[in-house]
Chains A and B, each alone.
Chain A
Amino acid sequence: MAVRLTRRQLLIGAGISAVALKSPGLFADLADGTAASPISRTIPSTSESVPAIGMGTWITFNVGSDADLIESRTEVLKTFLDRGGSVVDCSPMYGTSADNLGKALNALQAHDQVFAATKIWTADESATRAQAESSRNRWGVARFDLLQVHNLLGWRGHLETLKEMKARGEFRYLGITTSHGRRHDELARIMATEPLDFVQLTYNVLDREAESKLLGLARERGIAVMVNRPFQGSALFRRVQSETLPPWSAEAGISSWAEFFLKFVISHPAVTCAIPATSQVAHMQQNMAAMYGELPSESLRQRMATFVRSL
């Protein structure tokens, strides 16, 4: 299938390699001295490449109209983009997050650099199009890359409308989300029958229910997997707060707990990207570092999971 790239897709693709030139500090860390490129994954339905670490916006971008905090979140987004990120996830459920994301994108003039993903979150199955349009205005993007039905809410009606909208080119990829391991059986049925490009679910070093069915099914059906709550909403950091990194984690070039948790997630072969959220530039730097260097092998992944479970 011939895939025509838009200017924006080209920019995202070019960004993935150009970041290698833009961020020398990142590459100086590599033992063999060679410049690495960011880890990216392909979306099975089109083979388009996206960076393996994206950004979530739940809580972190819901700062109301607080100008100081909007400015600080703009810095977070800038750090994310500077380090090769592009996938940004939001939802109408996240209060003022979409408005503030729009303001940050505007301040950075970065609409073309993001893979824009939002959700439809309303029980009113006839409001799909109106909500998508409202979100588009809030973000200030020409169109979304990915529209997802949030938490399976009203999924039958929304999916029908979204399929029509996608066919007309109003957005590019169709998805559905869940989290916290909820309603996996129903999600599996939808994945098996609907023409989804993406599925979003919770997966992290402790919450691994998705491994038993959904991740395999996603590979089988050619569905990209976006992972939410990679830090279990920061609970993983609390769990390890008095622990030092085990020395063997250096095998995968891991130098922080953030990298430990994120590399565990993105090293699963079915995972397309993880979307950690943060309100802090320093945390964003740590998170984006997970997109470079080695990834853990399968045996190391098992060791990582066993280690965290034992704490």
Chain B
Amino acid sequence: MTDVDWLSYSLQDFLMFGPQVFPRLFIRLNQDIWPWQLLIVPLALVVPWWMCRPAPALRRLAVWLVAAAWIGSGAGFLVRYFGEINWPAVWFGWAFVAQGLLMAGLGTFCRLKAIPKGRAGAFSGLWLTSVVVLPWVPVLQSGELAALAVFGLTPDVTLAASSLVLAMMPRVLLWSLLPIPLFWVLFSAATYWALQMVWLLLLPAATLIVFALCFWLSPSSARSRDRQSVHRDPVRR
């Protein structure tokens, strides 16, 4: 059996691709998918409104949209584009798809409380920051306008924004939804660090900040250990 002296490896040794290639993934994806961005971005902007409405059906729709965003960025960006040059991205891609399916299931069968009225503004502000401001980070890094990271198409922005929705989930379910986002945050931060693309580190950092803020924003059911929140949605019965 071959002994591997892992201590002799640095983070850079695991990097299979160069800094020139990574921003090109965003550019190519945007070129290939155009003009669907014109539909996807407005849809992403509606999510906070749906999440704050009293009607559970709209919240369910919002969760499905976020679930679709996970599936889209996993199967698209991660498996199809990033996976070509970096094998672990393929595993993450399928994990994103699984997470999307799980979220869709939870959105269908669990009752999500509406965002408390007084916090709807903060929720919407954070959401809009995630889907409108964060997409510019790869542009800032690469100097290429076409490298815009669109919600639902690319993993970091999708994750940062949807951590708002994750934090709204009943806490007992939240734990099942946390491992994949946390592993991705670690993996992407390590990758950007190894690539020396320091601006991109804003993306995992923003995800963690948004997620932390969400605990404060979430309805009391998410913050308490009240297991009663894990009920079937009465509206569906």
A residues at B contact (CB < 8 Å)? 58-60, 62-66, 68-69, 94-96, 123, 151-155, 180-183, 233, 279
Contact = CB atoms under 8 A, between A and B. Distances in A.
Which applies to chain A's interface (DSSP): helix, strand, loop or mixed? loop
Most buried by A among B9, B13, B84, B87: B84
Contacts of B17: 59, 62-63, 95
A66 B24 contact: yes
B30 to A, nearest CB: 13
A50 B84 CA distance: 33
Contacts of B28: 66
A233 B12 contact: yes
Contacts of B15: 59
B8 A182 contact: yes
A69 B84 CA distance: 14
Q: How many of chain B's residues touch chain A, expressed as a range? A: 20 to 34
Contacts, number: 54
Interface of B: 2-3, 5, 8-9, 12-13, 15-18, 20-21, 24-25, 28, 81, 84-87
Which A-B residue pairs are the 7 nearest by beta carbons? A64-B84, A64-B85, A95-B16, A62-B17, A59-B18, A62-B85, A95-B85
Contact of A180 (B13, B24, B81, B87): B13
A65 B24 CA distance: 11
B13 to A, nearest CB: 7
B8 A65 contact: no
A153 B28 CA distance: 36
B16 A69 contact: no
Given A95-B86, A153-B2, A62 B16 contact: yes
A270 to B, nearest CB: 24
Given A64-B21, A64-B81, A95-B16, A152 B86 contact: no
A69 B2 contact: no
A43 to B, nearest CB: 27
A183 B3 CA distance: 9
B85 A96 contact: yes
A60 B5 contact: no
Given A95-B86, A233-B12, A69 B81 contact: no
10 contacts: A63-B24, A66-B28, A68-B24, A95-B85, A96-B84, A153-B2, A154-B2, A180-B8, A182-B5, A183-B5
Contact of A279 (B12, B18, B81, B85): B18
Contacts of A183: 3, 5
Contacts of A154: 2
Contacts of A180: 8-9, 13
Contacts of B3: 183
A175 to B, nearest CB: 17
B8 A59 contact: no
A95 B3 CA distance: 23
Nearest to A93: B16
Contacts of A152: 2
Contacts of B12: 233
Contacts of A62: 16-18, 21, 85
A296 B5 CA distance: 35
A58 B17 CA distance: 8
